[in-house]
Amino acid sequence: MSFLALSFSAPLVLLALAAAPLLYLLLRVTPPDPARIAFPPLKLILDLKKPDATPARTPLWLLLLRMALAALVILAMAGPVFTPATAPLAKSGPLLLVLDDGWPAAPDWAERVKAAESRIEQAGRAGRGAAIVAISEGSRPAALGDAATALSRLRALSPKPFFPDRLPALPALANFIKAHGEAQLVWLSDGVESADGRAFAGKLAALAPDVEILRDPRPVRALAGAENKATALEASLLRSAVGGQAQGLLRAFDQKGALLGEAPFDFDAGLTATARLTLPVEIRNDVARLDLSGESSAGAVFLLDAGARRRRIGLVAGASVDVAQPLLSPLYYLRKALGPFADLREAKPGDPDPIGHLLDEGVDVLVLADAGAGGTALSQRLDEFLAAGGTILRFAGPRLAAGGDELTPAHLRRGGRTLGGALSWDQPKKLAPFDANSPFFGLTPPAEATVSRQVLAEPEEGLPGKTWARLADGTPLVTAERRGPGLLILFHITADTTWSNLPLSELFVDMLRRIANLSALVAKKAAPDSEAPLGGEPLPPSQTLDGFGVLGAPPATAKPMLASGNILVSAEHPPGFYGPPDAPRALNAMAPGARLAPLDISGLSLKSAELTQAQPVDLRPPLLVAAFVLALADALASLVLGGRWRRQAALAMLALTLGFAPLAPPPAQAEPARTSQKVSPRDVESALATRLAYVVTGDAHVDEISRQGLTSLSEVLAQRTALNPGPPIGVDPARDELAFYPLIYWPIAPETPQPGPESAKKLGAYMKQGGLVLFDTRDAMFQQPGGPETAARRWLRAYLADVDLPALEPVPRDHVVTKTFYLLDNIVGRTVDGQTLIEALPPEPADPANRPARAGDSVSPVIIASNDLAAAWAGGAFGEALYPLQPGGERQRELALRGGVNIVMYTLTGNYKADQVHVRELLERLGH
Amino acid sequence: MAESLTFLPKKASRPGPGQQHAALDLAGRLPPLVLAARTAAAAAESGVHGRRRAGTGESFWQFRPFVAGEAAQSVDWRRSARDDRLYVREREWEAAQVLWVWSDLSPSMNYRSPLALQSKAERGLVLALALAESCAKAGERVGWLGLTRLSSSRDSTDRLAVALLSEARRLDDEFPDLPAAVPLRPREKAVLIGDFLVDVAEFAARLAALAGQGARGHVLAIFDPVEEAFPFEGQAEFFDEAGALLRAGRAEQFAEDYRSRLASHRAALEQAARAQGWTFALHGTDRPATEALLSLRLALAADGAR
């Protein structure tokens, strides 16, 4: 139902307006209230009766106000919608929507769907059918359905992470047009040429007249590539056209999705831009994914695999590796220096051909620490490696000095002639500052780094150019030479500390890092595909991108890709990581060297329109706001009329009105669902108050005694000490969380079954965390000295078999537990002669006289009493003993309670009473 | 009196931090209240009142000669070493006195007119908690009549408040307007606070049940100033917490009758309290709470005639 541009979603509600006269009558007869007075002693005068007064009528203006309010609410409930005029459908036939669903459509996918929805709804209102063709599924025939079917199909679509070919969709479109002649064709284009855009547009224009094309004026932005340069990770960016936002932020993430860094970029007025991510090389090596902030598409994500990240460095030592003395191995210093930013490979000990195997593993840098590179086969392999762009880093040593090796940047003086006499310096030499053309330029040689021995280069032409570092007297320390794309570097010292202490300095690490960065550049330029780790084996997809650029599980259609060869991104090979998760190979949506060209439709007879259109306006919120304001006015009027007008009420009303006015128009936001973890109220209570706990044994009588005993003990504690415990609680060690209770009392009831091993494990953990379990075997009355073990002890022994307990001993007289609050001789309960066991103390000190109290380093995790403590503690409501004591007497009960107080204090304060500062006080009180 | 008056919401009678603070503040202004000690309650719980007998206490009472058959460890060797006889050191039996407090929290107490400083329920609660706090501070044992156990811990107001809260949840804030008929033990003391707008016969019976074994106590009737003055006029509709309605064309006509009936009701209450040997006092919520607390403390410390 619609009048002009105004339509109602629930027009039947408007019928309620007809009931307005009824409302008029109803409101008219409702009188204002008399003053209502609450009066508690009303009973005293309830039987008195006096005559009443008559009510007044509602004034007319208030009546009108209320009726206007009612009318507004009714109108709002009818759901009025104001729809601005849209272009009417040109033709009478069904609607055919062609949807580009490659990744360029992803950033504004929601708007595309909205535009498509509004078209479909428009067709639906006009009673016409609609069909949707997604380009990526172009070969499927277009099925005509009603608007609801088309909408549900539209919502099932999502952008694909590649460029689908558009041309294969043409036959299906042609068939549809042929079948439904007067069809209205609308193409929601992503605005990118991608190989066949103009050809497709031309054929579409030929297919039917009046084809409409919807485009987003904003350009598509994409990441074309990223390179790990010496100081920064450089990413190159593309956009399809000038316009829109030129600046943005490039973000780098690691394998686990943690943000590592951000770099700004600016397209300025061009189509390309570069973002430089300056990060420490260790962190740069961890970068696995780059994306453009705010641009959610597969093209705006660039994945980096191991090839772009860590250099693989092979280490070979010439000397035999002494495992027992690692500091003497040259590789030790190299490992420490290179480990943080490189992937180190070493040959297996005893490998007959370590260099060959490392080259087979595909290292980028080969470090030879005084390892010989002689032999025809080997030198040929090394030459091949250099020709492929590899870097060889050599360190000198006794073997190299002995000569016979040509693989050096400069000729070395060799034989006994060169070393010894010429190099017997009086003092070790320091390093000279680095030249400007050296890759080490900028590093500062530390004053304490000295060289006491080195191999010498033959003075020859070009040697200064090859020299990267030199000593203070000008002799080269590091020389290097480019051999084809490869690089050969020689340190004229050993990699260990025998010739120089340079390997100990920070400079050594920095030099190696620069060399590693340099090598990355070399290897990359030379052969991008030379690092394929596994030859021609197919790599299964492990994680792939969807159209929005989100990494996820690969779809069922994804197939393994071959490691070698140029793979084109397609439905079968979505962009993502392929191969084993620890050494994945990345496939990116934008192929290397690809361009982003805008779709050119000039000269074609297509009706071009913008994607975003005016939205229909829901009139409900303003109507409801107006009704609310009227309701406030009505409330004010009622207050005035009812004689309850007060200044405060007026001010409050005014504040309310002002406060609500700006809040009213935006619709209420759904509150984010709060995730709340379930915590039992009992745990909450236990966490809030320190309380004693007892183990529920299953024997109701024993449990009741425990409860009574601990209740009385808690009361005594509250009365006499600084501790104010909450009511005691029964716990089940297998089920309940024990962390809240400092002390758990466990009376042994040997008749009850043993709790499972789970509870023993949990109890062990509780003790390890610092809890104290007070076991009470309650058998002092039956235990004969030297007699057989009682049932309770057997029970306890079996239960504790799996718990890691410390050694126990009977409580010594000077144990701190007998001094923590009261000075006691022993812990008594219903009986007095039972033994109490506690963690054994360290051996007695030499001068026991000065140490009246002893304690271990921590609180004993367990105390095993046998005197039935709880029964002695238990008192009635008036403090009387509830259970007979043996031998008996008020004093014994008092002593039992004092023992309990001491144990609790021991649990809570630990060994502090054993501290020396209390010695004087304790001695004084002991002597008294 | 043109404004209309209503009852406060039901939950207003629940003890909150405000009342607890007020009670602690009130109690803090006065020294700890040691109940009259002449007749300490016959409880074995130790306390501040020396019973002038040997027992389990802290302070020294006497040395007495050792009797054969006693445990050797009870001999006081230091004293015994002075002559040829053995002595046993005895300590004085020190016991605590008991105070039960109770305050009416029923809906009729949830009432506060603009003339009053606090609602009746709030005032009663503050007084009861302050008394409990004072006594607990002095080491006496306190409990809420019919609700909690006796306790002398220092956070007794907390405990009472928590117990009251959980009781309020259980009863959905519909507290009874008379205490439970638990017979008090001899020589215990009780303080009942409320508006006692109940049937006088019922009140007398309940008091008799409480005091049957010889416990002594004090009744403090709290009233709102409006309840005493009846300052209403004009067209009005009165209602009480039970929902009874009274429509008055001219409210001032009722004033005279009401005042006379109120006076006779109070006289009857006082009569019932005196019959049990209890005291009866009035307290308006327009007066400061200290007044009532002081008079209650005086009564409790003096312990009347017995």
Distance (Å) from the C-alpha of residue B219 to the closest C-alpha of chain A? 18
Distance (Å) from the C-alpha of residue B241 to the closest C-alpha of chain A? 7
% of residues, chain B, pLDDT over 70: 87
Both A645 and A735 in one domain: the answer is no
For residue B304, the model assigns a pLDDT of: 45
Both A647 and A712 in one domain: the answer is no
Chain A residue with Cα closest to B151: A715
The confidence band for A604, taking pLDDT boundaries of 50, 70 and 90, is confident
Interchain CB distance below 8 Å, B227 and A891:
no
For residue A541, the model assigns a pLDDT of: 87
Distance (Å) from the C-alpha of residue B244 to the closest C-alpha of chain A? 8
Q: Which pLDDT tens digit goes with each residue over A98-134?
A: 888 888 888 888 888 888 888 888 788 777 888 888 8
Which of B108, B150, B258 is opposite residue A40, by nearest beta carbon?
A: B108
Q: Which pLDDT tens digit goes with each residue over A382-392?
A: 888 888 778 88
Residue A89: inside a domain: no
Both A566 and A422 in one domain: the answer is no
The answer to whether A493 and A396 are in contact (CB under 8 A) is yes
Token digits for A835? 């033994």
Best A33, A36, A39, A828 member to test B by mutation, with max B CBs in 10 Å, is: A39
Q: Which pLDDT tens digit goes with each residue over A547-568?
A: 888 888 888 888 887 765 567 7
The confidence band for A643, taking pLDDT boundaries of 50, 70 and 90, is low
pLDDT at A864 over 90: yes
Both A279 and A388 in one domain: the answer is no
Contact residues, chain B, for A887 at CB < 8 Å: 71
pLDDT at A669 over 80: no
Phi, psi at A488, each rounded to 5°: -120, 125
Interchain CB distance below 8 Å, B56 and A891:
yes
Interchain CB distance below 8 Å, A42 and B240:
yes
Evaluated on CA atoms B287, B291, B296, B299, the torsion sign reads negative
Q: Across A211-258, where does the E strand assignment appear? A: 211-215, 221-228, 233-239, 247-254
As a whole number of Å, the CA-based R_g of chain B is 24
Contact residues, chain B, for A38 at CB < 8 Å: 5-7, 111, 238-241
Distance (Å) from the C-alpha of residue B152 to the closest C-alpha of chain A? 6
For residue A375, the model assigns a pLDDT of: 67
Distance (Å) from the C-alpha of residue A38 to the closest C-alpha of chain B? 5
pLDDT higher at A841 or A907: A907
Mean pLDDT across the stretch A363-371? 82
Q: Which whole-number Å values give the CA distances from A124 to A42, A58, A156, A188, A615, in the listed order?
A: 69, 50, 19, 18, 17
Q: Choose among A306, A287, A284: nearest CA to A563.
A: A306
Contact residues, chain B, for A44 at CB < 8 Å: 197, 258, 261-262, 265
- The answer to which of A240-254, A352-366, A692-706, B246-260 has the lowest mean pLDDT is A352-366
Both A253 and A329 in one domain: the answer is no
Which of A44, A880, A891 is opposite residue B44, by nearest beta carbon?
A: A880
Q: Residue with structure tokens 């729809």? A: A83
Which of B155, B238, B265 is opposite residue A37, by nearest beta carbon?
A: B238
Distance of alpha carbon A537 from alpha carbon A580, whole angstroms: 12
pTM for the model = 0.40
State in Å, rounded, how far the first CA of chain B is from the last one.
47
The confidence band for B242, taking pLDDT boundaries of 50, 70 and 90, is confident
Distance (Å) from the C-alpha of residue A636 to the closest C-alpha of chain B? 16
Distance of alpha carbon A849 from alpha carbon A517, whole angstroms: 70
- The answer to which of A52-56, A685-689, B222-226 has the lowest mean pLDDT is A52-56
Q: Which pLDDT tens digit goes with each residue over A277-302?
A: 888 776 777 788 888 887 888 888 88
For residue A444, the model assigns a pLDDT of: 85
Residue A354: inside a domain: yes
Q: What is the largest CA-CA distance in chain B?
A: 96
- The answer to which of A647-661, A748-762, A776-790, B107-121 has the lowest mean pLDDT is A647-661
Both A580 and A553 in one domain: the answer is yes
Distance (Å) from the C-alpha of residue B12 to the closest C-alpha of chain A? 16
The confidence band for B117, taking pLDDT boundaries of 50, 70 and 90, is confident
CB pairs under 8 A between A and B: 133
Chain B residue with Cα closest to A895: B56
Both A66 and A114 in one domain: the answer is no
Distance of alpha carbon A877 from alpha carbon A875, whole angstroms: 7
| Residue partners of A529: CB distance under 8 A and separation at least 6 | A564
- The answer to which of A401-410, A527-536, A552-561 has the lowest mean pLDDT is A527-536
Q: Which pLDDT tens digit goes with each residue over A27-38?
A: 665 655 667 888
The confidence band for A734, taking pLDDT boundaries of 50, 70 and 90, is confident
Q: Which pLDDT tens digit goes with each residue over B15-49?
A: 777 777 777 777 776 666 655 534 434 444 445 56
Contact residues, chain B, for A643 at CB < 8 Å: 2
**DSSP 8-state class, residue A60:** H
Token digits for A436? 């400007």
Total domains, chain A: 5
Q: Is A420 left (phi over 0), alpha (psi -120 to 50) or beta?
A: left
Residue type present at position A67: M
Q: Which pLDDT tens digit goes with each residue over A783-810?
A: 777 777 888 888 888 888 877 788 888 9
Chain A residue with Cα closest to B235: A34
Chain B residue with Cα closest to A645: B3
pLDDT higher at A184 or A531: A184
Chain A residue with Cα closest to B196: A41
Distance (Å) from the C-alpha of residue B38 to the closest C-alpha of chain A? 19
For residue A33, the model assigns a pLDDT of: 62
The confidence band for B139, taking pLDDT boundaries of 50, 70 and 90, is confident
Both A424 and A549 in one domain: the answer is no
CATH number of B10-42+96-302: 3.40.50
pLDDT at A263 over 90: no
Q: Choose among B183, B236, B232: nearest CA to B207.
A: B183
Interface confidence: ipTM more than 0.90: no
Interchain CB distance below 8 Å, B152 and A719:
yes
Chain A residue with Cα closest to B48: A719
For residue B270, the model assigns a pLDDT of: 94
Which of A36, A40, A724 is opposite residue B237, by nearest beta carbon?
A: A36
Residue A675: inside a domain: no
pLDDT at A674 over 80: no
Residue spans per domain, chain B: 10-42+96-302, 50-95
A644 three-class SS: coil
Distance of alpha carbon A498 from alpha carbon A450, whole angstroms: 11
Best B58, B240, B245, B256 member to test A by mutation, with max A CBs in 10 Å, is: B240
The confidence band for B52, taking pLDDT boundaries of 50, 70 and 90, is low
CATH of the domain at A483: 3.40.50.880
Interchain CB distance below 8 Å, B236 and A37:
yes
CATH of the domain at A870: 3.40.50.12140
Distance of alpha carbon A494 from alpha carbon B279, whole angstroms: 104
Both A521 and A654 in one domain: the answer is no
Interchain CB distance below 8 Å, A40 and B195:
yes
The answer to whether A358 and A345 are in contact (CB under 8 A) is yes
Q: Which whole-number Å values give the CA distances from A425 to A305, A421, A470, A868, in the listed order?
A: 49, 9, 16, 86
pLDDT at A250 over 80: yes
Distance of alpha carbon A903 from alpha carbon A897, whole angstroms: 10
Which of A40, A45, A48 is opposite residue B241, by nearest beta carbon?
A: A40
Token digits for B179? 């205490």
Which of A39, A45, A877 is opposite residue B150, by nearest beta carbon?
A: A877
Contact residues, chain A, for B237 at CB < 8 Å: 33-37
H/E stretch holding B33: none
Distance of alpha carbon B235 from alpha carbon A637, whole angstroms: 20
- The answer to which of A316-325, A358-367, A541-550, B169-178 has the lowest mean pLDDT is A316-325
Q: Choose among A659, A715, A718, A720: nearest CA to A878.
A: A715
Mean pLDDT across the stretch A445-466? 82
Distance (Å) from the C-alpha of residue A109 to the closest C-alpha of chain B? 54
The confidence band for A849, taking pLDDT boundaries of 50, 70 and 90, is low
* Mean model confidence pLDDT for chain A: 79
Which of B185, B226, B244 is opposite residue A42, by nearest beta carbon?
A: B244
Q: Which pLDDT tens digit goes with each residue over A159-191?
A: 888 888 888 888 888 888 888 777 788 888 888
Q: How many degrees, rounded to 5, is the angle at CA B195 between CA B191 and CA B196?
A: 80
For residue A437, the model assigns a pLDDT of: 80
Distance of alpha carbon A271 from alpha carbon A267, whole angstroms: 6
Distance (Å) from the C-alpha of residue A697 to the closest C-alpha of chain B? 26
Distance of alpha carbon A201 from alpha carbon A292, whole angstroms: 30
Residue A674: inside a domain: no
Interchain CB distance below 8 Å, B249 and A52:
yes
For residue B32, the model assigns a pLDDT of: 67
The confidence band for A667, taking pLDDT boundaries of 50, 70 and 90, is very low
Mean pLDDT across the stretch A876-897? 85
Phi, psi at A97, each rounded to 5°: -100, 125
Most confidently modeled of A478-482, A807-811, A917-921, B222-226? B222-226
Both A542 and A686 in one domain: the answer is no
Interchain CB distance below 8 Å, A42 and B56:
no
Residue range(s) defining the domain that contains residue A635: 1-31+55-84+617-666
Both A414 and A519 in one domain: the answer is yes
Distance of alpha carbon A234 from alpha carbon A520, whole angstroms: 13
Phi, psi at B33, each rounded to 5°: -95, 110
For residue A54, the model assigns a pLDDT of: 46
Mean pLDDT across the stretch A848-858? 67
Distance of alpha carbon B161 from alpha carbon B14, whole angstroms: 8
Contact residues, chain B, for A39 at CB < 8 Å: 5, 226-227, 238-240
For residue B33, the model assigns a pLDDT of: 63
Residue A717: inside a domain: yes
Distance of alpha carbon B195 from alpha carbon B193, whole angstroms: 7
Both A815 and A845 in one domain: the answer is yes
Chain A residue with Cα closest to B78: A928
Contact residues, chain A, for B258 at CB < 8 Å: 41, 44-45
Q: Which whole-number Å values give the CA distances from A617 to A80, A88, A124, B279, B298, in the listed order?
A: 9, 18, 19, 75, 75
Mean pLDDT across the stretch A834-846? 80
